[in-house]
Chains A and B, each alone.
Chain A
């Protein structure tokens, strides 16, 4: 599943919780919006508080990633970058 994410593919198979989380985050990142079906599936599965925490997590890591990208923060000694450009 992690390998699929690394190359930008939809992971398969996923548990129901993983699937609502994937759909929610992916739609929000790609389209800036979340469809009714995905919103209601996610709130139905996780509840409102966890949905809000999920948006907070994305917002926070968006911020942290921007900081590290602006800095060009170095990987630990000897480590190679794992993500290849997607297009």
Chain B
């Protein structure tokens, strides 16, 4: 009896280990111009990148990873930066998603827009603010912290500079570390949007692009 319980325990444990790291997991990779890769054709270096992402905080290779796998050493460095920016940044979640949407809109990045539209709503950003960003308008009725993030990101993207008034408002409100994290989220999503635009990464089946051309 005791032996059979032990045996069952070993079986369950073995099953769990297999479930976590199957020999050839289905990566569910998608691509436009870059052909979706499968696990069995990956080099050891590419497998490390795929495993690091799947066992990390994202649990999915959706987005830029089918492209990043083409350059696995760089791709692994990029996914580490992305993990910080998505999950460990000092920018409050709602404002981080706001900055991502402002960046995705500027780059016409349809996939980034659609996925982060959902995350932004979940993080508590108002639908009216999101709609204004989608149509290239300055949102009305922003909270003070939202307004500072909007001014900072919009000036930086449009003029490649930030005015004294906007810089000091951002540093006073958030501190230097969070301002640097804010530049990082804009920079990282600029990079991700460029990858997805070059790839013409397809939207999930049945979804329509949400961003219309501005002007």
Residues of chain B contacted by A65 (CB below 8 angstroms) = 160
Residues of chain A contacted by B108 (CB below 8 angstroms) = 32-33
Residues of chain A contacted by B179 (CB below 8 angstroms) = 70
Does B197 touch A at the CB level, under 8 Å?
yes
Q: Which of B71, B167, B186 contacts A49 (CB 8 A)?
A: B71
> In the complex, A19 Cα to B109 Cα: how many Å?
26
Q: Are A49 and B190 in contact (CB under 8 A)?
A: no
Q: Which of A48, A53, A56 contacts B191 (CB 8 A)?
A: A56
A55-B191, A63-B187 given; A70·B162 CB < 8 A: yes
The 8 A CB mask of B184-215 against A (1 = contact, 0 = none) is 10111011011101100000000000000000
Interface size (A, Cβ < 8 Å)?
Answer: 22
Give min CB distance, A33 to chain B, whole Å. 5
CB nearest neighbor in B for A29: B194
Q: Which of A28, A48, A66 contacts B160 (CB 8 A)?
A: A66
Give min CB distance, A1 to chain B, whole Å. 23
Q: Are B190 and A63 in contact (CB under 8 A)?
A: yes
Give min CB distance, A54 to chain B, whole Å. 9
Interface core residue of B107, B162, B180, B194 (most chain A CB under 10 Å)? B194
> In the complex, A27 Cα to B33 Cα: how many Å?
17
Residues of chain A contacted by B160 (CB below 8 angstroms) = 65-66, 69
Q: Which of B74, B162, B184 contacts A52 (CB 8 A)?
A: B74
Residues of B whose CB lies within 8 Å of any CB of A are: 33-34, 67-68, 70-71, 74-75, 78, 107-109, 156, 160-162, 167, 179-180, 183-184, 186-188, 190-191, 193-195, 197-198
Given A28-B197, A52-B195, A58-B194, 7 more A-B residue pairs with CB atoms under 8 Å apart are: A51-B198, A52-B71, A53-B71, A59-B191, A62-B190, A63-B188, A66-B183
